[in-house]
Amino acid sequence: MAATDDALPVTPPQDGLFDLPTGFRHPSARVVLLTGPSGSGKTSLTRRLGLPVVSLDDFYLDQDHPSLPRRYGIVDWDSPLCWDQAGAMDALVTLCRTGRSDIPIYDIPTSRRTGMTSLDLQGAPIVIAEGIFAAEIVDECRAEDILADAICIVRSRIQTFFFRLARDLGEARKPPATLVRRGVSLARNEVAMITDLVGKGCQPLGFSEAEQVVQAHVRHAQLARHARQDRRPGTLSR
């Protein structure tokens, strides 16, 4: 089970999220919301899974947006108030119902959007929506009936701190002093953050556990899709 320096309860995978009322129109895909502290391995996991991915960080607001929150004299990029939640939901709902959606391209070093790209699921039954703000839309995704699962990746704070710092320095995301100061602050608040994410509906899992749960959802979705096709009029049962 997930191992951290501050143990948290692990809940079982969320069962039944693919069961819909009889006659309800099925979306073409459902979303697994993937969150966790910055540096916990979210992006690495999405690469291993090989599924379509929406990076929720691409929905950050531009640095000159008038409503951006500030902390310690700089923009507080860890606050959900600096994130376009409505835009992210619109994109995910469109993607799950139609199989295609336009996604913004966000440049973190300059803190602004630089364009748009089109994401096509190409028939994939599961899409990953990854980012530190994923827990903010758990209830909305469930209400729109596009939620497959919500997962928070958990690892030790020491690991998270150094993985995050190495990544941010390597990508020159912000000045080194800013990255170190932000990293120390995030490490201090990490347990509280994870507790908050779990309270918003995410289950805390280690890296390998999360991979297994997502793969199980893919298998479940594929079986459900085949079952619906077999029930269509004029379709021969296997």
Query: pLDDT for 49-77, tens place per residue?
Result: 999 999 999 999 888 887 877 876 777 77
* Mean pLDDT calculated for residue range 83-103: 95
Rounded CA-CA distance 74/79 in Å is 12
Q: Is the separation of the CB atoms in 133 and 54 below 8 Å?
A: no
Q: Is the separation of the CB atoms in 70 and 118 below 8 Å?
A: no
Q: Reduce the DSSP state of residue 57 to 3 states and report it.
A: helix
Rounded CA-CA distance 41/38 in Å is 8
Rounded CA-CA distance 41/51 in Å is 16
Rounded CA-CA distance 25/39 in Å is 38
Q: Average pLDDT over the chain, rounded to whole?
A: 81
The CATH class of 30-231 is alpha beta
- Overall pTM surpassing 0.85 (yes/no): no
Share of the chain above pLDDT 70, in %: 76
Q: Is the separation of the CB atoms in 138 and 192 below 8 Å?
A: no
| Res 25: pLDDT | 55
Residue corresponding to tokens 């120390």: 184
**Domain locations along the chain:** 30-231
| Res 210: pLDDT | 95
DSSP state of 43: H
- Give me the phi and psi of 149, to 5 degrees please: -170, 165
Grade residue 235 by pLDDT with cuts at 50, 70 and 90.
Answer: low
For residue 33, pLDDT over 90 is answered with: yes
* Mean pLDDT calculated for residue range 152-173: 72
Residue corresponding to tokens 């996991």: 45
Rounded CA-CA distance 169/164 in Å is 9
| Res 224: pLDDT | 84
